[in-house]
Structure 1
Amino acid sequence: MRAFLAVVPPPQVVDALLDHVGPRRDALAAEGLWRWTRPEHLHLTLAFLPDLAEWREEELLESGAGYAARQDPLELRLVGAGAFPDPGGARVLWAGVEESVPGTLGSWSKGLRAVASHAGAGVDGTRFSPHVTVARASGRPHPAGHLLQALDTLRTPPWRAEEVVLIGSHLGQGPGGTPRYETRHTWEIGSS
């Protein structure tokens, strides 16, 4: 199973993000250059698990609960925008993440990747960069500098990250051939 460990923004933050992105998304809809992330898919990935065997999931759940319980909740806010790999030829548009304690999300990512690896899950080794994906290029990369200038003023209300979620990703099973996400488990941060 494809899965990921993530922090999911609360509804009021998703609404603020959508209010900010909406006019740009609507203005560009006719061009069809971008596939905008559905609201229920907005999340901050801490660890991507391209191959989580179901029989390994129970060990991951136990280890993940212990790891999450030892962490402290963190205040987050979505701010600014960027593109991967770069604004001149963007495949992904994203909202940036501001942390009340800089570096904490990177530490969580590293710790959760280690937990998942120890539980026997395949773990993606891509360098961690805290972000929430808001759109993907349809087809080839597109210049996005003008769009990023408009999105860069984003600043959502802050929220307290108190949970890490294990989400299963079922490719092609959602509306229009998008993935279908399934929340498999939620761990409370700082529950020890």
Structure 2
Amino acid sequence: MRLFIGIDLPPKIKVKLKHFQHKLKTTGTNGSWKSKETFHITLEFLGELPEDSVPILSEILKQAASDKNEFRLMIEGLNAFPNIKRAHTLWADVKGDTDILNQIRNEIHSALIEKGIQVQSSSFVPHITLLSRPRLAEQLPLLKKSAEFFVREIILFESKVIDHRREYPAIYKARLQGQF
């Protein structure tokens, strides 16, 4: 199973990001556009793991969520990996209570290492991928502050191809404590 841990976005945020993609297209920007259904924030990409690792991963998520309250995030700004001049991935920036987001991600990261699960060594940059292999226009529109949303759960996703399309079904959801 190809797995990753992340945060899903509310439908209204996905719609706003889809509208922004359309705005980008009108500037002449092109590449491999991500579908609205696949918009998410990746906390940890795990890659190929056996199915019997799901209970261990689920317990790690449950533990990370057990003492955390729901928190606010918003989408604002546009950036690229490795940078905007040599972009191979164009993404929307995540703002808001990123200190809580980073804390949850770091706890999960440490717990995965303790369990002997391979993790990526690159630094964590919360983002939502909009476009890969981009050919960017000279002038890009600004991605203005979106509506805030609450993160209420951490999800173990499977990444699979169904009918030639990438899909991310949820395998396990760990609920954060209520606050808002």
Q: Normalising to structure 2: TM-score of the pair? A: 0.88
- Whole-Å separation in 2 of the counterparts to 1:19 and 1:103: 28
Read off the aligned partner of 1:153 and give its amino acid letter: L
Contact 1:2–1:169 under 8 Å retained in 2: yes
More helix by share: 1
Q: Which runs of 5+ in 2 are unaligned?
A: none
Q: How many residues of Structure 1 are paired with residues of Structure 2 in the alignment?
A: 178
RMSD: 2.1
Contact 1:17–1:154 under 8 Å retained in 2: no
Question: Does residue 148 of structure 2 align to residue 158 of structure 1?
Answer: yes
Q: Normalising to structure 1: TM-score of the pair? A: 0.83
Identity %: 23
Q: Secondary structure of the residue that 1:113 maps to in structure 2? A: helix
Q: Secondary structure of the residue that 2:158 maps to in structure 1? A: strand
CA 1:119 to 1:25, structure 2 compared with 1: closer, same or farther past 3 Å? farther
Read off the aligned partner of 2:139 and give its amino acid letter: H
Q: Secondary structure of the residue that 1:28 maps to in structure 2? A: coil
Residue 158 (structure 1) shift:
0.3
Q: Which residue of 1 aligns with 2:5?
A: 5
Read off the aligned partner of 1:50 and give its amino acid letter: G
- Whole-Å separation in 2 of the counterparts to 1:23 and 1:153: 10
Give CA deviations for 1:35-77 in whole Å, capped at 9, x if unaligned.
1110110000111112322212112212321221111211010
- The 5-angstrom pairing of residues 47-62 of structure 1 reads 47-62=44-59
Q: Secondary structure of the residue that 1:88 maps to in structure 2? A: coil
Q: Which residue of 2 aligns with 1:89?
A: 86
More strand by share: 2
Deviation >6 Å, runs of 4+ = none
Residue 95 (structure 1) shift:
0.3
Q: Which runs of 5+ in 1 are unaligned?
A: none
Q: Which residue of 2 aligns with 1:132?
A: 128
Q: Secondary structure of the residue that 1:12 maps to in structure 2? A: helix
